[in-house]
Structure 1
Amino acid sequence: MRTLTSYLLIFFSVFIFSNSCTVQKSPVSGNKRAYAYSWEEEVQIGKDVDNQIIAQYGLYQDENLSEYVKNLSEEILANSHMRREDTPQKYSETEFTFRVLDSPVVNAFALPGGYVYVTRGLIAHLENEAQLAVVIGHEIGHVAARHASQRGLTQTIGQVVAVGGAILGQEFLGMSGENLLALSSQAAQLLFLSYSRENERESDELGVEYAAKTGYAAAEGAEFFNSLKRISENSNQSLPTFLSSHPDPGEREQTIPRKAEQWAEEGYEQTIYDAEEYMSQLNGIVYGNNPRQGFSEDGMFYHPDLEFQFPVPESWQVINQAQQVALVSPEQNAVMIFQIDSEASNPEQAVRNFLSNNELQAETQRSTQSSGQWNAYVANTTAQGEQQDLGVYVYAVEFGGNIYRFINYSSADQYSTFEPDFEETTTEFDRLTDQQILNINPVRLSVIQTDRRARFSDLLPSSLPMDIQPEEIAILNQVQLDEMIEAGTTIKIPTQ
């Protein structure tokens, strides 16, 4: 439960930003303008939501890589509008936080007040420090231009974007998208705020400027945006969240080098690529979903690190998150949410606490066992919803020093249809004993130098792990499958 699946799940969440506004000076333009929040409020919002982001995605556990990204980011920040001689003190003294998230999705985003995130999936798809510098600069640009606070004055509908495979509406049987994903409404409002294309173009320009003034070859940023376009085309999905409201990638391939050239004409040498150092950081990085943090296969969900398993009903969608696992029925009319209950000391307390906290009365409840040996407790109840009543099945089980809780529900009139699925999944929760699964390792990138001149496709191993396709690896290396690769070229190959 410490990672996310690699498909996109979009929940539409309607929200209203604060009606109040404040007039303050922009760090970028120096002019006064209206914002939805004061800078002090933005800093506090970022601090509050940061904890939820860590819980939602998880941090990638590689101290060297995290420090590497932080140091590079601080260099870019030093050349941004947040750190200049004429920058107002409240901005220049704001501490920024840079994090690497444990997600395979190619993504980067920022929170108000100085919180910038990149995923390991994004890092794996870059070729050098210069490309990362432009991405980091772009996100710093969002913070410096205070785009979230600008949009907060007018935007009342935001997209809550998380990782998964189905598309649900604003409410899922009475449970909002952000609740299903364990996000607060504030996180939903600000983390997944949809910027305007004007905002995105400004951040593109700022990203190029900050990278160029740090000495990086800022035109390299165009290569990364071309990769994003190829990822979208290869997966037959919409653009990754990093591009959800951004200008067309083809446009950026032209504008980014042009903006970089303008800064070169002003005397800013852009000579830093640092491909060798960057590639050394990628050697061994986890690629794709990490099966040790949970995966589904052949009708079962397995968690090798926590050594448990439970069945998944046929055709149900599995959404594996850092905090929970959600199972969604094919018609999206029933859901099971599986979490660790860190507050309860036993299964009965976990069930009773849930009922009490939600002001529900159990219609039936009893002690039981999962797979005939793990102490468990179950209750059934009906919850009143605004549009329909819900049939709710709450089940908790004690295993491996943890209390695990399932919250399963459907509309009350369909509850009898789904109750057998609820019972099978919960009562067959069991210890994972398959040694092959217990010993499974994630796919990692191996950085190698080619020993001959050949087409890229000919340099790939005869079989790739985890159903990875050759085109994916070509995109990962920012080359074409039929492209001739010179001897001595550094490439990334997934291994397991």
Structure 2
Amino acid sequence: EYLARAGYNPQAMLGVIKVLKDQEIFATEEARKQGRESQGYHGLFASHPDNDTRLQEVVAEADKYVGAHNGKTNRTGYLNQINGMIFGDSEEQGILFDRNFYHLPMRFALTFPKGWQVNNQPTSLLAVAAGGNAFIKMGAMDIDRRLSPKQFIEQHLKVSRLKAGKELNSNGLKGYTGVFEDQGRPARITVVFLDKQAFVFFAGVKNSDEFKRFDKEFIETAASLHHLRADEVVLAKAKQIEVVTVGKQDSYASWAKLSHITNSPVMQLRLLNGQYPKGELILGQRAKRIQ
């Protein structure tokens, strides 16, 4: 009713809710790939908006306030406003590019295992293997310069019974790593010092018998930590929405390859354009891509 009284097309609200529902479906599918529960709110959509008769009736009630032909949507103005908007993580949060992570303000970068889903959380990075069979969680803490990386693990992280402990010296950075038992399963803890930060890597598995299969990747991920190089600065820049007119050579598949989106890029582009899960670009139409 508010939209209708303001001169907008109330039917557009169905499209908005459909996109929100599609986002929920996508998030659930991504969580399934990672072997975890979806964190989304499920109380809003009992069914898909296309099949929700009650919702359609409520929206239809607003039609009495505005004729079907004079309700505006102002899509052109909207697209003009969001052109250049930041998409995904900001430079302050760090940028994922393929399986690499770059953080411009803190001047570091690292590489995660191929094929893993990487989630940039507020205070940490969480990488999850297919099916949730293994994970690596990385965070940063202030260094206590009086301590070595091994002592940092023992005194600050309170992990004292390490097995197969060894020093790391990779990319000019000092670190220490070892294995301990966490809730009855083997886990690896690694600390690497970079400038004024102690980078803490905690890695574990769903099933104990799979630890050896993933352990090499646990160590390689921590050892990949390095100071941000000059040639990596451009990769540490935030991604932006670009509004373009679809040409003959354009497709979601080709846009995805250039998007630098880490997880399910084709599906994310379809979501961005309201064409999830199987829609394709329409020649001559304005659409949103990521650069």
Q: Same fold (TM over 0.5)?
A: yes
> How far off is 1:285 after superposition?
1.1
What secondary structure sits across from 1:426 in the alignment?
helix
Deviations 1:382-441 (A, max 9, x none): 24x3xxx12232211121432210112346565455443333322342234261x32124
Aligned partner of 1:336 in structure 2 is 136
Higher-helix-fraction structure = 1
Unaligned ranges ≥5, structure 1: 1-208, 451-455, 486-490
Deviations 1:362-401 (A, max 9, x none): 2358783441521323343224x3xxx1223221112143
**467-476 or 413-422, larger mean C-alpha shift:** 467-476
Q: TM-score, normalised by structure 2?
A: 0.65
What secondary structure sits across from 1:218 in the alignment?
coil
Amino acid at match of 2:180: T
The question of whether the paired residues in 2 share the 8 Å contact of 1:308 and 1:430 is answered with: yes
Aligned partner of 1:295 in structure 2 is 96
The question of whether the paired residues in 1 share the 8 Å contact of 2:10 and 2:71 is answered with: no
> How far off is 1:284 after superposition?
0.6
The question of whether the paired residues in 2 share the 8 Å contact of 1:477 and 1:492 is answered with: no
Instruction: State the distance in 2 between where 1:234 and 1:419 align.
Output: 30
Amino acid at match of 2:223: T
Instruction: State the distance in 2 between where 1:365 and 1:301 align.
Output: 28
The question of whether the paired residues in 2 share the 8 Å contact of 1:302 and 1:432 is answered with: no
Instruction: State the distance in 1 between where 2:131 and 2:288 align.
Output: 38
Higher relative contact order (CA 8 A, sep 6+): 2
Of 218, 234, 239, the match for 1:422: 218
Aligned partner of 1:373 in structure 2 is 172
What secondary structure sits across from 1:223 in the alignment?
helix
Deviations 1:75-134 (A, max 9, x none): xxxxxxxxxxxxxxxxxxxxxxxxxxxxxxxxxxxxxxxxxxxxxxxxxxxxxxxxxxxx
What secondary structure sits across from 1:341 in the alignment?
strand
Aligned partner of 1:395 in structure 2 is 190
* TM-aligned CA distance change 1:237 to 1:382, over 3 Å: closer
* TM-aligned CA distance change 1:457 to 1:211, over 3 Å: same
Amino acid at match of 1:368: E
Aligned partner of 1:407 in structure 2 is 202
- CA RMSD of the aligned region, Å? 4.6
> How far off is 1:317 after superposition?
3.9
The question of whether the paired residues in 2 share the 8 Å contact of 1:362 and 1:379 is answered with: no
Of 147, 150, 153, the match for 1:351: 153
What secondary structure sits across from 2:199 in the alignment?
strand
The question of whether the paired residues in 2 share the 8 Å contact of 1:396 and 1:406 is answered with: yes
What secondary structure sits across from 1:422 in the alignment?
helix
The question of whether the paired residues in 1 share the 8 Å contact of 2:17 and 2:49 is answered with: yes
Alignment length, in residue pairs? 265
> How far off is 1:337 after superposition?
1.1
The question of whether the paired residues in 1 share the 8 Å contact of 2:259 and 2:290 is answered with: no
Instruction: State the distance in 1 between where 2:27 and 2:132 align.
Output: 23
> How far off is 1:324 after superposition?
1.7
Of 104, 109, 118, the match for 1:318: 118
* TM-aligned CA distance change 1:251 to 1:444, over 3 Å: same
Amino acid at match of 1:494: R
Instruction: State the distance in 2 between where 1:429 and 1:365 align.
Output: 21
* TM-aligned CA distance change 1:367 to 1:224, over 3 Å: same
The question of whether the paired residues in 1 share the 8 Å contact of 2:22 and 2:271 is answered with: no
> How far off is 1:446 after superposition?
3.1
* TM-aligned CA distance change 1:375 to 1:226, over 3 Å: same
Aligned partner of 1:49 in structure 2 is none
Aligned partner of 1:190 in structure 2 is none
What secondary structure sits across from 1:446 in the alignment?
strand
The share of aligned pairs that are identical, in percent, is 16
Q: What are the within-5 Å matches in structure 2 for residues 177-326 of structure 1?
A: 209=1, 211-212=3-4, 216-227=8-19, 237=29, 241=40, 245-252=45-52, 256=55, 258-265=57-64, 271=71, 273-275=73-75, 277-287=77-87, 293-295=94-96, 297=98, 301-305=100-104, 306-326=106-126
Instruction: State the distance in 2 between where 1:230 and 1:272 align.
Output: 24
Question: Is 1:433 paired with 2:225?
Answer: no
* TM-aligned CA distance change 1:350 to 1:255, over 3 Å: farther
Instruction: State the distance in 2 between where 1:425 and 1:272 align.
Output: 52
What secondary structure sits across from 1:262 in the alignment?
helix
Instruction: State the distance in 2 between where 1:234 and 1:413 align.
Output: 31
Instruction: State the distance in 2 between where 1:330 and 1:372 align.
Output: 28
